[in-house]
Each structure stands twice: as C-alpha cells, then as structure tokens.
Amino acid sequence: MFRINENYLQLNQNYLFSTISRKIDTFSSSHPGVDLIRLGIGDVTLPLSPAVIGALHAAVDEMAQKESFHGYGPEQGYGFLREKIAEIDFRQRGVPISADEIFIGDGSKSDSGNIGDILGDDNAVAITNPVYPVYLDSNIMRLGRSSHILLLPCSEDNGFLPELPAERVDVIYLCYPNNPTGTVMTRPELKKWVDWALENESLILFDAAYEAYIQDDNLPKSIYEIENAQHCAIEFRSFSKNAGFTGLRCSYTVVPKSLMVRASNGEMISLHGLWNRRQSTKFNGTAYIVQRAAEAVYSPRGQQEIREMVAYYMQNATIIREGLTSRGWTVFGGENAPYIWLQCPSGLDSWSFFDLLLDRCHIVGTPGVGFGTNGEGYFRLTAFNSRERTVEAIRRIDNFL
Amino acid sequence: MFRINENYLQLNQNYLFSTISRKIDTFSSSHPGVDLIRLGIGDVTLPLSPAVIGALHAAVDEMAQKESFHGYGPEQGYGFLREKIAEIDFRQRGVPISADEIFIGDGSKSDSGNIGDILGDDNAVAITNPVYPVYLDSNIMRLGRSSHILLLPCSEDNGFLPELPAERVDVIYLCYPNNPTGTVMTRPELKKWVDWALENESLILFDAAYEAYIQDDNLPKSIYEIENAQHCAIEFRSFSKNAGFTGLRCSYTVVPKSLMVRASNGEMISLHGLWNRRQSTKFNGTAYIVQRAAEAVYSPRGQQEIREMVAYYMQNATIIREGLTSRGWTVFGGENAPYIWLQCPSGLDSWSFFDLLLDRCHIVGTPGVGFGTNGEGYFRLTAFNSRERTVEAIRRIDNFL
C-alpha cells in the first residue's frame, strides 16, 4: 500500500488566508450588498504600469510569429533579465552579484517554499514568531513538527526583532522589511546575524520581498550589502510588491557562487549548483512574456513608474499609521514597509478584533495570531488598497469603534 | 553547521539536455555558420495560435486597468479554466471529473516533479527504463538512489511496455503516449495496470502530456477512461505540446476526490486535500493572462487551431517514420505520438549515433541511453520542427549516412 507524507497531518488544518476567506464569505452572504474594505491579504490593487503593459503586448506579438516565437527558455531565466537585475539591483548599489547567481522564479512563495528541497533533514531550523506562514508550513511538510524547528519570539520588548539563538540553529529565515510586523533591520542589526551565521556555519534565508518600501537610505535593501553575506545567505526577491506582479508571477532567488558547505564526506559543495539542479529538474522557467515584463521594470520609465506605485502605497501606510496613532493605538511598521502592525485595542485577542472590525466597520484585516502565537493580540493592516478606500477605512474606524 | 540534502550528490552529474546543449555549443564553435536541424529536445516551433494570442492581448489589457486588474488568483487556478477543462477534456468524453478536482499548474515538469512532496519516503517507486529523466531524478532527490526505486525494463521484446512488477511497488509513473519511445497503451493494457494498482493499493502517476497526438480513437486519452482509475491515479496534463505553450507555461493535474489512502493511524486521507495544501503553501497560481490563454484553447476556434497544429507535427512524424523505415531502419512511435524512437543503425550505441548524426548530417537528436540503460542503442527524434526542416533532415540522412 502506498503511503503519504504524514508530516502533512501535523499541519494546522487551515491555511490562514483560507480561513479569512471563509469568514468573509459567511459574513457577505448574511449581509448581502455590504461594502467591504479589504486591508487583509497583501495583494496590490494598482494596475500594471504602462512600461510593463507595453512590454507584455510586444512579447505576446513575438509569440505570434514563427520567427520570434519563444518555446522553452532557460530554467534559470533569460540572460536579458538576469543581467538587468544584477546591474540595477546589485552592482549599482556596490554589491558584486553576477547575472548567473540569479535564478528567475514564478514567485517568492514557490522559491522560499521549495528551497528546503536542497537542505538536509537534520538541520535545526529557526523562524521568527510571528512569521510568514509559508516558512513554517513548508518546514513542517518536510521535517514534521519536530523539535528541529525553533521559534524565535518577537514582541514589543525586543522591537519585534529576534535575538540571536542560544541553541544550535543551522538555518534561519529572516524577512526584512518584515511581514507581518512591518519592522526593519538596520545595517548593524543585520551584520550581527551575518557574523553569527559565519561563526556558526549557519545558512540565512533572507526574504527581501518588500525592499522597495524602504524609505530610509541607511537601511540595507539586500543582505549582500553586509560584508561576507555572500558566504552564508540566499536572498529571495519578488516583483509582486514593487511592480504589482501578484497576478503575473515573477520572482528571483540569489544564490552566490561563494556559498559553500561541507558535505559529510568532507567535499565542499556549492549551493548554487544544487539549486541549479533543483530548478533544472523540477521547474521549466518563468513565461517568456512575463520575463520581458519584468525586464521593463528596469527601464528608466519602468523604474519611475514603480517608484510612483510604491509612493502611492506608502502614502496609504502613512494615512493608516497616523489615523490609528492619533486614536492612541499602539502601531508598528508602515514607515519602511507596506504593513501596519497594531496592538488590538481594549486588550482584544486577534480573532475577536478581526470579527469586530468586520462587523462594525466592514473592514477585513489579518489577525496577528495567524502568524504565530506571539502575534496574539496584534493585527496586520496593509497599505495596498486605493487611497479612497484607505481613507474611508480610517473614517469608519473613527466613526464605529 | 548546516547540511545539504545529500541525495543530490547521488544524481548523475549532468542533466541530459544540458549535456546535449554543451555538445552542440562545442560543435557550433568549431563549425561556424553550420546549419543545424534540431530534432532533439521536445520543444515546439509553431507560434501560438490566433485565438490564444487574442486572449493574451485582451487579458494584458485587463491588467492595465484598475477595474479589471487581477492580483493573486486562486492557487488551484481560476474557475473559468477549470470548468472548461472538466467539461471538454473529461465530461464530453464520458469521464466524470469535476472542476475542483483540477489543479492548474505552471508545467508538467513542476507538477510531476513536485508530486513527491505529498508521498511518503518509504514507498517503493517504479519507473520505466527508458524514462523521462524528471521522474527518476526527482525521486533520487527525495529518496536517494536507494533500492526503493525500481526500474521496469522496456525493450523491443515487450514492445516498450513494462510488465507488471513481481516485487512490491507502491507508486508507479506511467507516461502514454510515451516519452521517449512514442509507444501507446491500449485500453486493455491500461486496464491491466489500473486493476493491478487497485489490488495492490498502489498509486499510478499518469503523465498524459502527449494525449493530443493520439490518432486512434480506440486508445484512451485519460487514465480515467478506465473503470475505477479515480481510486488509484493522479493524471498530469500540459498545454505545452497540444497548444505550443512551452514558453508560456501552463499545465494541470487531476487529483480525484475519491483517491484516498489509509494513514498509519488508520485514518482515510484524501490526496486531493494534500495536493491542495501543497499548492496553497508552495505555489501562488499560474499567471492570470496565461490562464486566459489556456481558456482560449477550449473555444471552438482554439480547438480547431490546436487540431491543425497537432496535424502539422504528426505529418512531420510520418515523414520521419516513413523516411527511416524505407531505409530499412527499425522505428517505433510516431503514429500516436510526436516522438520517433529508432534503433541506431549498424549497431551503434546512442552517443556514437548522436555524434555521427551531428557530424555528418548536422542534425541534433536525443541519445536513447540518456533516458535509461535500456535506451542504449536507441535514439529519439521529434516531430516538432518545421515541415521544411523535417524534410531536409530526412534528405540529409539519405544523402550522408
């Protein structure tokens, strides 16, 4: 008889956003015609920018002609895009990442979910608490809910930044600007982690999906801005949040060639080679037209357009942040991140506040506890709705809470 | 110190098509300007059809407007596409598969590579020999090159169809029409496997990526045409080969809700639920514009266009098949599949014939041994080039071999 991967039975029954979605469905069917404002899931609302749309149409036209048709592309992504990324996201910022260290993917959820494929089952893995659920769930799927998964508590006491682990940790997921707390790491704080990883021969999986939201020029956008991080870190980047590609699907993963580890036979192994093999075997590249769209993000016009998009959402973040702060609520994030992390008022727990906000204000947010036990009593709002709806949401909170 | 998944070190050093690609590069640089005909990798050459191109442009326009923009879609795929698939690929053929049993993916390589995520590590897994390398490599990555992976020999003696295993097998990969041999399974032959799987509580992973090439109406296009297969089989389908989506990336996986297995605690578990959880956690859906393109394949015009594409390639297959047969060569496939599998002439081994064909005829094919030891002495040619190049290839073989 065939067997399933029984680690799946150790997962929590429901994925956070599915639960929210069901609650919304229930509420909507008992309140027909209700005007919900969604500040829950981190999905963008602005359309794709003109430079991206132009590139998509042009690439579709190429696919219509035999002479310019593109079939299978390189599993690692096309050179035209990898070169642009290396140049603009890294070399122009003084970070020596080369094009062939960049792997184009179809989304950071896939990339950060699949990265475990190349890692051993005996690693002690650390994640923060609260955390983006994919890190935890993809590890439970692979390793089971064993003692090998360590949760690093993040709370108001430590400014929602984890402390260096006292126990052995081989692999750690760090996401800054952070989802869900909207907090950031300064250069010295990130350096502390890089130094720790080098000293302990640990691997940092650095999720920089929200780097475009950094307003403070002193904050690092890439972990490779920290000296020697290319020896201990893999970085994930996405086009979802900076360029609105949530429905278009494009991301990239940086695996520096200098990231090596000793195998049990003593041989030094390159993680770049392993990820290359994983992608070559279990992925067939991101759509050509989507890679052309991503390339357009790096044109001068594209760069200007995404700066305007980010500025638009950051203005929303300011509206939420200031609106709630002026009510005396305790609020984190929203300054270098599209997420506002608030302490639920009146000592409410996360789901009670979710229900209250839905019932009274017809606003959907995300319960902090959905990101981990340390998120209990907190709540995440996103800056990704329209200006009008964001303003209206704060008005409703002012009127009905 | 962190550890890698050392199963990767047990993989053969080079992925078949990378090796071929390197050989071509070497040949091309020592023979500048040489006019190579590529009948190697199974990539299509005809452009996307007008219905698909129209749908892509329309969907891109939707993405340019706030009102019609699509962000994150359902991880399982959009209802509009799942419904069309269930209706046209299954219900109209008398097979009761419902829309929510269909999971839209970004390619059969991803789907068949990732399916192992939901299976236990203690399964005895069988694949044919020769085989599409992804089945083998993705299992070695997960399980190591252990005795749990059984190779079922396929040769001229058994018409390149595996025999029922004498040993215990929990999971078996079957691909018909077959890559690389181009052979097919009749209804009674496939029924034999379904009955075997039901009796042994084994799981069949059925790759039907080439079903569009079936010309003989008596042959099954889906394993679910066989009674009770919905209790023992997962099916993979692709838009790559029927609609030329190799560069656009869309596929689907059918996981019937009636496919259940007993967990070690005695509980009956639905594989549909497990795959749904895997996709929800580690995948964020296929691009909206690509799903609209796939939907267009199911329009009357789209159906007519893909029939013409397939007919075009099948005419190429006939040209290759008849050209080689008339030389007295022994040839398989090419009648209900886009692959022609030939015995290398003059008793040559696969790579020697590869070199000969490249040197003398400037034709690139795929050495049979690249698909497994039983492929030694055989060679795969594909029907996916243009009519002119296919005719020219046969002319060159006639003139120079």
Residues B80-130 have pLDDT tens digits of 999 999 999 999 999 999 999 999 999 999 999 999 999 999 999 999 999
Res. B15: pLDDT tops 80:
no
CB proximity A166 to B under 8 Å = no
Sign of CA dihedral A55, A56, A58, A62: positive
Give A-chain residues touching B43 at CB under 8 angstroms. Answer: 71-72
Residue B16's pLDDT is: 79
- Res. A14 pLDDT band, cuts 50 70 90: low
Q: Which helix (H) or strand (E) holds B289?
A: helix B288-297
What whole-number distance in Å separates Cα of residue A29 and Cα of residue A18?
17
Please state the domain extents for chain A: 6-47+301-400, 51-299
Q: Do the chains contact at A4 and B63, CB–CB below 8 Å?
A: no
* Percentage with pLDDT > 70 across chain A: 99
Residue among A241, A276, A239 nearest A255 (CA): A276
- Res. A202 pLDDT band, cuts 50 70 90: very high
Q: Is the pTM of this model over 0.95?
A: yes
* Percentage with pLDDT > 90 across chain A: 95
Res. A377: pLDDT tops 90:
yes
CB proximity B64 to A under 8 Å = yes
Mean pLDDT, rounded, of chain A: 96
Mean pLDDT of B12-37: 87
CB proximity B54 to A under 8 Å = no
Helix, strand, coil share (%) of chain B residues, nearest 5? 50, 15, 35
Q: Do the chains contact at A109 and B4, CB–CB below 8 Å?
A: no
B6-47+301-400 matches B51-299 in fold: no
Mutation choice for A interface testing from B41, B60, B236, B388 by most A CBs within 10 A: B60
Give B-chain residues touching A265 at CB under 8 angstroms. Answer: 9
Q: What pLDDT digit, counting tens, does each position of A51-64 carry?
A: 999 999 999 999 99
Q: What pLDDT digit, counting tens, does each position of B145-171 carry?
A: 877 899 999 999 999 999 999 999 999
Q: Do the chains contact at A141 and B45, CB–CB below 8 Å?
A: no
Q: Do the chains contact at A57 and B53, CB–CB below 8 Å?
A: no
Return residues 79-118 of B near A (CB < 8 Å).
106-107, 109-110, 113-114, 117-118
Q: Do the chains contact at B281 and A6, CB–CB below 8 Å?
A: no
Task: Answer whether CATH 3.90.1150.10 is correct for domain A6-47+301-400.
Answer: yes
Q: Do the chains contact at A248 and B289, CB–CB below 8 Å?
A: yes
Q: Do the chains contact at B53 and A64, CB–CB below 8 Å?
A: yes
- By the 8 A CB rule, do B286 and A246 touch? no
DSSP count for chain A of H helices, then E strands: 12, 15
Tokens of A215: 């307003």
- By the 8 A CB rule, do A214 and A93 touch? no
CB proximity B71 to A under 8 Å = yes
Mean pLDDT of A264-274: 96
CB proximity A246 to B under 8 Å = yes
Residue A303's pLDDT is: 98
Res. A13: pLDDT tops 80:
no
Residue B146's pLDDT is: 76
E strands present in A306-368: 331-333, 339-343, 363-364, 366-367
Give A-chain residues touching B114 at CB under 8 angstroms. Answer: 114, 282
Residue A16's pLDDT is: 79
Res. B389: pLDDT tops 70:
yes
Residue among B76, B20, B26, B23 nearest B43 (CA): B20
Q: Do the chains contact at A18 and B280, CB–CB below 8 Å?
A: yes
Give A-chain residues touching B73 at CB under 8 angstroms. Answer: 247
- Strands A268-270, A331-333: pairing is unpaired
Q: Do the chains contact at A170 and B109, CB–CB below 8 Å?
A: no
Task: Answer whether CATH 3.40.50.10540 is correct for domain A51-299.
Answer: no
CB proximity A200 to B under 8 Å = yes
Q: Do the chains contact at A281 and B138, CB–CB below 8 Å?
A: yes
- By the 8 A CB rule, do B344 and B353 touch? yes
Mean pLDDT of A89-108: 97
Q: Do the chains contact at B6 and A120, CB–CB below 8 Å?
A: yes
Q: Calculate how close chain B gets to A188, using CA atoms only, in Å.
A: 23
Give A-chain residues touching B387 at CB under 8 angstroms. Answer: none
Residue B14's pLDDT is: 65
Residue A18's pLDDT is: 77
Radius of gyration of chain A (CA): 21
Mean pLDDT of A305-320: 98
CB proximity B264 to A under 8 Å = yes
Residue among A211, A213, A168 nearest A190 (CA): A211
Mean pLDDT of B172-176: 98
Q: For residue B246, give the nearest of A2, A72, A113 by CB distance.
A: A72
Res. A87: pLDDT tops 90:
yes
Mean pLDDT of A209-227: 98
Q: Do the chains contact at B119 and A170, CB–CB below 8 Å?
A: no
CB proximity B266 to A under 8 Å = no
Residue among A18, A34, A17, A14 nearest A359 (CA): A34
Residue A42's pLDDT is: 85
Residue A17's pLDDT is: 78
Residue A12's pLDDT is: 80
φ/ψ (deg, to 5) at B376? -60, 135
Helix axis angle for A133-143 and B271-282, nearest 10°, is 140
Res. A32: pLDDT tops 70:
yes
Give the number of C-alpha atoms closer than 13 A to the C-alpha of residue A107, restricted to the C-beta side.
26
Chain A to chain B Cβ contacts (< 8 Å): 261
Res. B260: pLDDT tops 80:
yes
Return residues 372-391 of B near A (CB < 8 Å).
386
Residue A21's pLDDT is: 85
CB proximity A3 to B under 8 Å = yes
